[in-house]
């Protein structure tokens, strides 16, 4: 009997403990499921808002070109060619990937010239999945810019920023469609502004950045921390952390001229010049200027009486320190206008006036 009572006692104890555990588990699980706890809105860090503002206006640009296939010993062999149409040219299809930026809701896109150069067809894809064929409105190879147009409704447009206000150290985001993997964003800082003599374009005033600009990013957007467009991605050097973008101040001026006039019009004087070296500066007694090496016959400079060997010190009221300054000054002049040219000839100051012509298009 005592044994039976012992068993009954501990059985009841076990059942009580089990019941208690079930009650506690139920209370805890229900409470955890319904418990939300205090919520605190922490400030978000990052550039998601900037990306969301700019991303819809950044597009993928895909081109198709047809090239005559190079011959080889097999295809040129008469025994081989007898099985094919002798009159049919062998053609190779080439595709290229790049990016572009929608400037307005009418479908105007700015991209790099090298992205669409020699393209037979151009296809644009938007972030929202829509696609359209694009036509070329105009190009400017000397700044590596091109303007395209697509016909779609309700198009997004980029917010324009002020590239002239950029400072070294400012945060920038490079957006585009590199390597065919979809739209991507990379982040960096402005490493330099006004970079020239890089050897990429004729006219250069690059924004240098360490934001990654990979193959296919060309023509995409460089935006500031607010998502406003400050540059068009252009190129990178085969070195980590050195990429270049064309500032919006230049890109928008080129786009405007193309849209209004069909091409970019730049001034031209028809002369070849180079910077003075130290010995020539010492000999001439001037601190700055450019040495005229040659003058095109019947060109503006020739008609103005400029001679090889002259040292140009001023174009208009602007002093000319080097050949880059001279090019920028001359090309900014309006074709058909007149400009004063001040030069030194055999140590004597000479003043003349030239009628500016239009800079010939590159061949």
Q: Render the burial of 238-265: b for 16+ CB within 10 Å, e for the rest.
A: eeeebbbbbbbebbbebbebbeeeeebe
Contact 58, 127 (CB under 8 A): yes
Residue 133 among the catalytic residues: no
Contact 108, 134 (CB under 8 A): no
Q: Of 60, 99, 114, 357, which is the active-site residue?
A: 114
Q: 10 Å Cβ neighbour count for 352?
A: 15
Residue 114 among the catalytic residues: yes
d(CA 114, CA 313): 36
- The continuous run of DSSP H or E covering 66 comes out as strand 58-68
Q: Of 60, 96, 163, 218, which is the active-site residue?
A: 218
Helices (H), 35-144: 48-54, 73-76, 78-81, 113-116
- Which of 333, 148, 361, 161 lies closest to 245, judged by CA? 161
Q: Of 60, 99, 144, 191, which is the active-site residue?
A: 144
Contact 183, 59 (CB under 8 A): no
In the 8-state DSSP scheme, what is residue 158? P
Residue 144 among the catalytic residues: yes
d(CA 137, CA 262): 7
Q: Which residues are catalytic?
A: 114, 144, 218
């Amino acid at each position: 009997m005592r044994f039976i009572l012992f068993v009954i006692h501990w059985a009841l104890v076990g059942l009580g403990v089990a019941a208690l555990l079930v009650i506690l588990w139920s209370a805890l699980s229900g409470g955890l499921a319904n418990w939300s706890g205090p919520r605190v809105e922490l400030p978000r860090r990052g550039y998601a808002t900037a990306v969301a503002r700019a991303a819809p206006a950044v597009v993928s640009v895909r081109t198709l070109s047809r090239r005559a296939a190079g011959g080889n010993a097999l295809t040129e062999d008469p025994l081989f060619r007898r099985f094919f149409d002798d009159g049919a040219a062998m053609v190779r299809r080439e595709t290229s990937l790049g990016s572009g930026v929608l400037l307005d809701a009418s479908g105007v896109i700015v991209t790099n010239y090298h992205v669409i150069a020699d393209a037979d067809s151009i296809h644009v894809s938007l972030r929202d999945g829509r696609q359209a064929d694009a036509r070329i409105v105009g190009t400017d190879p000397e700044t590596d810019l091109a303007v395209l147009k697509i016909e779609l409704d309700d198009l997004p447009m980029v917010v324009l920023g002020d590239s002239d206000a950029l400072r070294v150290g400012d945060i920038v985001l490079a957006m585009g469609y590199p390597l065919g993997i979809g739209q991507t964003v990379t982040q960096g800082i402005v490493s330099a502004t006004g970079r020239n003599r890089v050897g990429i374009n004729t006219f250069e005033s690059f924004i240098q950045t360490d934001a990654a600009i990979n193959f296919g990013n060309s023509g995409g957007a460089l935006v500031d921390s607010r998502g406003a467009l400050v540059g068009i991605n252009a190129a990178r050097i085969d070195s980590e952390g050195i990429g270049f973008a064309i500032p919006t101040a230049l890109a928008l001026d080129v786009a405007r001229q193309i849209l209004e006039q069909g091409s970019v019009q730049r001034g031209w004087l028809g002369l070849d010049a180079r910077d003075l070296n130290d010995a020539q500066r010492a000999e001439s007694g001037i601190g700055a200027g450019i040495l005229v090496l040659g003058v095109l016959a019947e060109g503006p400079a020739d008609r103005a009486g400029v001679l090889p060997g002259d040292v140009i010190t001023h174009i208009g009221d602007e002093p000319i320190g080097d050949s880059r300054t001279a090019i920028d000054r001359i090309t900014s002049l309006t074709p058909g206008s007149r400009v004063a040219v001040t030069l030194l000839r055999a140590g004597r100051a000479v003043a003349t006036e030239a009628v500016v012509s239009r800079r010939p298009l590159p061949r």
